[in-house]
Structure 1
Amino acid sequence: MESHPSYKALSEVLPKYPQSAGSCFQTFNDITLAQQWTDVEVIDLPVISRCAFRGRRPKMDPLLYVVPCSLAESLSVSWFNEAFEKLGKPDQVYLAINTPDSSIVYYKLTPGIVKPPV
């Protein structure tokens, strides 16, 4: 991982959070290389023991937030609340769920409980 060109952008946060380092590294590479997001910033979130990312999708103006995690992790409502709080209470956050086969599924999360349209 250290020899990969994108490691430099993550070198300050990955050693701090070894349990989430793989998910963070994989998500960063997906949004910057595959999806070609711009203005990507790494955000250190010690309260949830990982980093998050802020950036823009191609041809999109609003800033988006992504929090990586592993499929094997157990997350709680309080964990999500802490993430929203420390990210400055955005309207939505994407949870990047990483699997052992390197797949990533993104779920859009919003604060509170929202009834889906019928």
Structure 2
Amino acid sequence: MSSPLEYLDRHIHQHHYPTSLLRLVFLDLVLSKLWKNVQLFPVENLNTSIILAHEPDTPPDQYLVILPISQEDTLSMKRISDMFKALDGANIRQIQGDGLKKITLAIVSPDSTIVYYHISRGLVPPKS
């Protein structure tokens, strides 16, 4: 079994996407937050890889689909919709069960601070 860093390096060498954001978010989840089940999944339509991660203390079949982006990236409703469509085309549904309902943006600032922001598809009622 390889270490998380070896796994990350192997993935980066296999897929020639921009990797600095992916590397920062992956290392934050594995080394800082100590998450155990973190996988990388290439998404050609987005020209990047996403991170599939199981957050500790949540049901074992629930994975977060994490998309690293830069703080300087411009987001619009259309861009977010395009992200969901690209992820739908990447067969993430097999991990999400009945369809991708939520993505988590890992927004990386220039000083390497990372903010995780959940975005749900469609209208979602507030938690009671």
The answer to whether residue 59 in structure 2 is matched with residue 50 in structure 1 is no
User: Identity percentage over the alignment?
Assistant: 25
- The CA deviation at 1:102 is 0.7
1:92 alignment partner AA: K
Distance in 2, Cα, partners of 1:98 & 1:43: 19
TM-score (norm 2): 0.72
Partners in 2 of 1:58 and 1:116 — Cα distance? 23
Instruction: For residues 83-102 of structure 1, give each alpha carbon's deviation from its aligned partner in whole angstroms, at most 9, with x where no partner exists.
Output: 32323342211100001101
Considering only aligned residues, what root-mean-square deviation do their CA atoms show, in Å? 2.3
Aligned in 2, Cα 1:57/1:115: closer, same or farther, shift over 3 Å? closer
Counterpart secondary structure, 1:59: coil
Confirm or deny: 8 A CA contact 1:47 1:82 kept in the other structure.
Answer: no
TM-aligned CA deviation for residue 69 of structure 1: 0.2
CA distance in 2, matches of 1:12, 1:74: 28
For residue 64 of structure 1, what is the aligned residue in structure 2?
64
Aligned to 1:36: 34
Whether the 8 Å CA contact 1:10–1:42 is kept in 2: the answer is no
TM-score under structure 1 length normalisation: 0.77
User: Would the alpha carbon gap of residues 102 and 77 (structure 1) be closer, same or farther in structure 2, given more than 3 Å must change?
Assistant: same
Separation in 2, partners of 1:52, 1:78: 19
**Offset at residue 81 of structure 1 (A):** 2.4
Find the aligned partners of 1:44 and 1:78 in 2 and give their Cα distance: 22
Which one has the bigger helix percentage? 2
1:97 is the counterpart of 2:95: no
Aligned length: 111
Cα gap change, 1:79/1:38 in structure 2, threshold over 3 Å: closer, same or farther? farther
1:22, distance to aligned residue in structure 2 (A): 1.3
Classify the secondary structure of the residue corresponding to 1:94. Answer: strand
| Equivalent position SS for 1:28 | helix
Give 1:32 deviation, angstroms.
1.5
